[in-house]
Amino acid sequence: MDTFIILLAVISSVMFLVGHPMDYFFESIYLFVIYSSTFIGAFLYFNVYRNFWRFVSHHEFYLIFQAAVISFIICFGSQLALSLLTGYSLPFLVFLLSWVFIVFGVSFIRICFRVHYSMKQTGNKSGKRTLIVGAGNAGRLVLNELRKSSTSPLYPIAFVDDAPDKHHAEIYGIPVAGSIDEIHHIIKKLKIEVVIIAIPSASGQEISSIVSMCKNHKIDVKILPKINDIINGRVTTTLREVKVEDLLGREPIELDLELIASYLKGKTVLVSGAGGSIGSELCRQIAQFHPEQLVLLGHGENSIYLIERELRSKFPSQNIYPAIGNIQDRKRIQSVFNDYKPHVVFHAAAHKHVPLMEYNPTEAIKNNVFGTRIMAECAHESGAEKFVLVSTDKAVNPTSIMGVTKRIAELYIQHINSYSPTNYAAVRFGNVLGSRGSVIPLFKQQILNGGPLTITHPDMTRYFMTIPEAVQLVIQAGGLSVGGETFVLDMGEPVKISDLAKNLITLSGLVPDKDIKIQYTGMRPGEKLYEELLSAEEGNSSSKHELIFIAQQVDIHAYNMPERIKKLEDCLNNDFNQGKSVIKSLLKEIIPSYQLTDHE
């Protein structure tokens, strides 16, 4: 096609400027040969022929322009050389007009192919009428995807975008109907059935606002996932339903990959509680850094089996060793440490459910305190390099058995760090969306049952993170640790549970307090209205990562942890049926900031 265009351009320019091409046969042949060889040679050099014409864009035209400039320089140079050698040359305008015709022709034919292909891609006009929020690159990507198939269930009708220069314009024939604030009116005017949010940089507040504007119309709201989620394999489809975590909206976490790789690559890493929500995600992300061995320690055989099978499928070359054991069983834990000699330990095993632990305080103490002590001491005895305790914001000024036992665990690893060559650290964060026992699965089940959604108090707030976000920062904190720190993750702004519930109802295509009722049941044992990430005595200081802070270390010797934990152990051993008030009094003695509640 390009050869034919070059021939036609040469013939046309000769005919227009000097006469009939047959009268200038040799000159025309010379001009055709030199232009075809230089143009096509330059196109081959710049890989122009490797690009599909139906996807032609400004990139291809930039390559054509580069090739055209080089071709003109070569042709003009050869013409000058010919003139000096023979004294004969074609008029300069013939060269110039031929070049213009060639550039126009090769560009025009590609544009025609692109237009022809685009006209064939009209999408499924019988699909649901769809509004795309965001007329940028992501919005155009969504439009192209929807138009590719004549059987697509969605048919794009219009864009909305806040950029004033895009208003009343069209993108590939689709109008930009107005700004995002006008969604409510545009939905009614254009009879929209589906809204797609195509703004990867949108904050949680912006997404929440868009969802709120759509909720009264009872239409589907979908979202284009963040590129980071697609790259990391956390999503497998282009479009998906809007989730509660989208409404929290946080900037993508930037990890120091070099720092993480330096302490995990080629090392033996042990994760306790490896079958749990946090533990299993730790295993997935750690495996990406190619440890020598990854040891999965857990009490439940089924959960360990499932994560082992998943990891072997995703990382077939990774050495993975499942270890079934209870962290309260010192002999079993010692044998695991002796067998594998882990360099790095992530201790995620714990009893975490606040109300359940209020009813079962002895189990919380045995698992969260004595189990952590055994794990920490075994790490010291086996010569581990790092030990990272996964803790909770409920350990700050605790009001629950779960919180106070996790605070004791934090203090105990600070105690053992004071004499051990192993670097011990705790990482403290709030609730994680989607974890076992979290509020989101409960709300979803209640919605499926037709409601009501039960909330303990209308003013209750919590910090939330997604599981992958929390785990990324836990691993990062492990790399920052030099021993004795309590790292605190930046959880963003606290979220009202009532707002979370209303958003979840809305995302289910229902109307809060109309289709699904919200019922307030009163606070449960051990709960408080809001959580804190730092106590008054801890303050905070920055670390090398903007989303991780370090609590100021307390005078660990003043707590006398070995003696107090021994006293607690003796109390449980001597009379296992001790009343809750006696146990709580002992916990209060260990942790003076423990706030006893009136839920007995």
Each of the 600 residues of the chain gets a pLDDT tens digit; together they read 888 988 888 888 888 777 776 766 767 787 788 888 888 888 888 777 776 666 666 677 777 888 888 888 887 787 777 677 765 566 778 778 888 888 888 888 888 877 766 665 565 677 888 999 988 888 888 887 787 766 678 888 899 998 888 888 888 778 999 898 888 889 989 989 889 988 877 777 788 788 878 877 777 888 876 655 554 545 444 566 666 666 665 555 555 667 787 889 999 999 999 999 899 999 999 999 999 999 999 998 999 999 999 999 999 999 999 999 999 999 999 999 999 999 999 999 999 888 899 889 999 999 999 999 999 999 999 999 999 999 988 888 888 999 999 999 999 999 999 999 999 999 987 776 666 556 777 887 888 888 888 888 888 777 677 788 788 888 988 888 888 888 887 766 777 888 878 877 877 767 787 888 888 888 776 666 666 555 444 455 555 556 677 777 778 887 888 888 888 888 887 755 566 778 888 888 888 888 876 544
* pLDDT given at position 592: 87
Whether the ω angle into residue 452 lies within 30 degrees of 0, i.e. cis, is yes
Residue 313 near residue 352, CB atoms below 8 Å: no
What structural domains and CATH numbers belong to the chain? Answer: 2-120 (no CATH), 128-242 (3.40.50.720), 263-433+464-491+533-590 (3.40.50.720)
Residues 6+ apart with CB under 8 A from 441: 434
> Which pLDDT score is estimated for 570?
84
Query: CA 199, 200, 202: angle at the middle one, nearest 5?
Result: 65
Q: Is 338 left (phi over 0), alpha (psi -120 to 50) or beta?
A: alpha
Give me the sign of the Cα torsion angle 230, 489, 597, 366: positive
Q: How far apart are CA 207 and CA 199, in angstroms?
A: 9
Please identify every residue annotated as catalytic.
394
First to last CA, the chain: 87
Distance of CA 70 to the CA centre of its chain: 45
What stretches of 178-255 show up as alpha helix (H) in DSSP? 183-190, 204-215, 227-231, 244-248
3-state DSSP call for residue 133? strand
Percent of the chain as helix, strand, coil, to the nearest 5: 50, 15, 35
Distance CA 549, CA 539 (A): 10
**Beta strand pairing status for 268-272 and 293-298?**
parallel
Parallel, antiparallel, or unpaired for β 170-171 and 174-175? antiparallel
Which CA distances in Å does 158 have to 6, 129, 174, 190, 224? 41, 9, 5, 9, 16
Find where tokens 């974890």 sit: 435
Tokens representing residue 514 in the block? 């109309």
Identify whether the C-beta of residue 204 lies closer than 8 Å to the C-beta of residue 246.
yes
Q: What is the pLDDT of residue 41?
A: 85
Can you read off the two tokens belonging to residue 352?
């975490």
| Spatial distance between the Cα atoms of 309 and 350, rounded to a whole number of angstroms | 23
What count of other Cβ atoms lies within 10 Å of the Cβ of residue 566?
11
The rounded distance, in Å, linking the Cα atoms of 330 and 575 is 21
Task: Give the amino acid at 542.
Answer: S
The whole-number pLDDT of residue 242 equals 64
- Alpha-carbon distance of 34 to 205, in angstroms, equals 61
CA-to-CA separations, 469 to 73, 231, 313, 575, in angstroms, rounded: 55, 15, 23, 43
